[in-house]
A = this chain, B = another copy of it.
Amino acid sequence: MPYHIDIEPLTLSVKAESGDNLLEILQKAGVQIEAECGGQGTCETCAALILDGLCEIEGRKVDEGVIKTCRASVCADLRLKITDYRPYAGGTDFSVLPLEKLHLTPPGKFSPLSIVKSVKIDQSSLKENESDWGRLTRAAGLNDTAQCSLSVLQRLPQIIRENDGKTIVILSGFESEEKVIDLRAGDYIANYGIACDLGTTTVALHLVDLADGRIISTVSDYNGQIICGADIISRIIYAGKAGKLAELRDKVLNTVNSLIEKSVNEHNISREIITAAVFAGNTTMTHLFLGLDPAHIRLSPYVPAVKNLPVLTAAELNLSLNPQAPVFCSPAVGSYVGGDITAGVSVVELLENQGGIRLFLDVGTNGELVMLGDKWMMGCACSAGPAFEGTGISCGMRADKGAVDSVKIDADAEKIELKVIGGESAKGICGSGLIELTAELFRNGIIDRGGKFSAKSFAHKIKGEGSAKKFVLLDAAENPSGQEISISERDLANLIRAKAAIFSALRLILKMTKINFNHIEKFYIAGGFGRNLNIESAQKIGMLPNLPLKRFAYIGNSSLTGAYLALLYHQQRKNLHKIANNITYLDLSSIPDYMDEYMAALFLPHTDSKLFD
């Protein structure tokens, strides 16, 4: 007879048999719980609090306290609370989510952007006087219109005679667009590709084995363009000055090439055998990466130079790959909903347990929302500003080592509990920390609905005057780093503007589609910032709607994941084009209600607080 395991705060109930491992049950149920040590009991990321019932740990029955679910097995009915529920909270640098956690349905047959065929090319004879190229195309099963570069032809005669005709043919393309990228003598060659998310702030890259899709390494770094402007608008303005477009292009190219270099050096791989690349980025980043003038993205009527890019070559782009490697860029919906969003939506479409209305939110330096119906999609962008990335906030920083990413305040007990990424001394507060901090300040009555400090409690922590008035979490003297960690009214106003931008965009898209919040069956959050996001805090401040927690799911860097899938699946590349064409773009600024909605959202949680009951 199965037992019932109730899981909070997800209001989820699953059945289990006696002896079943608790962590496995949670994972099987799709609960996004981190288990950093892989279930070996050496970390605490799978912790849960026993609310009711009991379980067995190392032969002992346990009925209270916080347990490591990986160590516990079922022996009775049980009610658990995941201690610090954050979909895929914690973890290492940047926001790459292990793919297997996403439970993706593969998009069709495995068909990488470039493939390796090992063929045996017939030796020529007086009867078999077909040319070298003719015998090669026949052996590789290519059609008559197969293309190749001159350099392939130049090396052809020698290569196919070197190893008794055994030849490695590296090919790209499907259907009528076959192209021989490269040739080698021999039986076997490893073949790699890269998938890359070109973010405004961060560039992340997978090096992928194209034989089986295995991710060999994942590396990421700040986009070298950061020093030329934090957001896309400042980058576009910068690009408009003489010679600066080329400079921006060089900067991001250097970032990408350095990441490639780092990957290949780590694994002792030759650049020549990286023979395919897929990039996903917002429309401006893609333009700057290709050296395309982004000026018209910013000027009415906001038109990009290109949305559906032809397949280019690594040589054209100056990428440190095999020069003939095809480069596929994820197509954009429009100027402010780019290839990164198309890629993200493609991931959502491949997630299991779909159906109904789904919402996709990518929060980075920009915020983009796509609502997915059964037969339609609508997307919009909102300028959240870089507050969630920690920029423009006095103590803001990225979710990197030393960032405060969790705050608990008990005003009555005058207690503040901070969690710092990497467990180091605090250097600043990251986006998710800021949201939790704001929620905690509000919950404790330290700030009012307008985000202003009210002197009701914890008054000795409030210092300064006017908009510089601030709440000090850590005095410089208390902090080993010697830094004061605080949040000012100005910071709070910034943050409230950012959350208001997102929430009002959400409200508008619902209004346009005549859909209620409750109809949203699944709310997918993507982007680096989402990684450490405390959903409840985000709800508390009115950034996310008050849906049951289990409807939220964090899907990591879905731009990178979508690019990765496009590297591996022909059907995914087709899907991306289909998605880019199918998303109806909603220009918020052209909708008269937008300002009203935005203004209404500039309160904690909202002017209409019933929305968050």
Contacts and interface: CB of A to CB of B under 8 A. Distances in A.
Interface of A: 124-126, 128-134, 144-151, 153-154, 156-158, 176-177, 290-293, 295-296, 300-312, 316-317, 332, 334-335, 577, 585, 587, 590
10 contacts: A126-B301, A129-B585, A131-B303, A133-B305, A133-B306, A146-B310, A149-B312, A150-B291, A154-B290, A158-B293
A126 B590 contact: yes
B157 A296 contact: yes
Contacts of A134: 306-308
A501 to B, nearest CB: 21
A311 B156 contact: no
Contacts of A176: 176
A300 B127 CA distance: 11
Contact of A153 (B130, B290, B311, B332): B290
B129 A303 contact: yes
B154 A292 contact: yes
Name, among A300, A301, A316, the residue most crowded by chain B CB atoms within 10 Å (CB to CB). Answer: A301
A147 to B, nearest CB: 4
Contacts of A156: 292, 305-306
Contacts of A332: 131
A558 to B, nearest CB: 23
A566 to B, nearest CB: 16
Contacts of A307: 130-131, 133-134
Contact of A131 (B130, B150, B290, B304): B304
B306 A153 contact: yes
Contacts of A585: 129
A396 B404 CA distance: 92
Contacts of A302: 126, 129
Nearest to A154: B291
A125 B128 CA distance: 61
**What is the total number of copies of this protein in its complex?**
2
Contacts of A309: 133, 153
Task: Name the 9 nearest CB pairs between A and B, nearest first.
Answer: A133-B306, A124-B303, A131-B307, A150-B316, A147-B310, A126-B301, A157-B305, A132-B305, A131-B304
Given A124-B301, A154-B291, 8 more contacts: A129-B334, A129-B585, A130-B307, A131-B305, A132-B296, A145-B177, A153-B309, A154-B293
A457 to B, nearest CB: 50
Given A150-B317, A154-B291, A290-B150, A132 B306 contact: yes
Contacts of A291: 150, 154
B292 A157 contact: yes
Contacts of A157: 292-293, 295-296, 305
A527 B509 CA distance: 74
A39 to B, nearest CB: 48
Contacts of A290: 150, 153-154
A303 B132 contact: yes
A446 B43 CA distance: 110
Given A157-B292, A293-B158, A305-B153, A310 B148 contact: yes
Nearest to A137: B308
Contacts of A125: 301
B316 A149 contact: yes
Contacts of A293: 154, 157-158
Contacts of A126: 300-302, 587, 590
A157 B307 CA distance: 13
A153 B309 CA distance: 9
A302 B295 CA distance: 58
Contacts of A590: 126
A305 B135 CA distance: 10
A349 to B, nearest CB: 21
A150 B312 contact: yes
A332 B158 CA distance: 20
A109 to B, nearest CB: 20
A346 to B, nearest CB: 18
A46 B151 CA distance: 52
A165 to B, nearest CB: 12
A293 to B, nearest CB: 5
A170 to B, nearest CB: 16
A128 B301 contact: yes
Point out which of A125, A149, A301, A305 has the most chain B C-beta atoms below 10 A from its C-beta. A305
Nearest to A144: B308
A292 B587 contact: no
A144 to B, nearest CB: 7
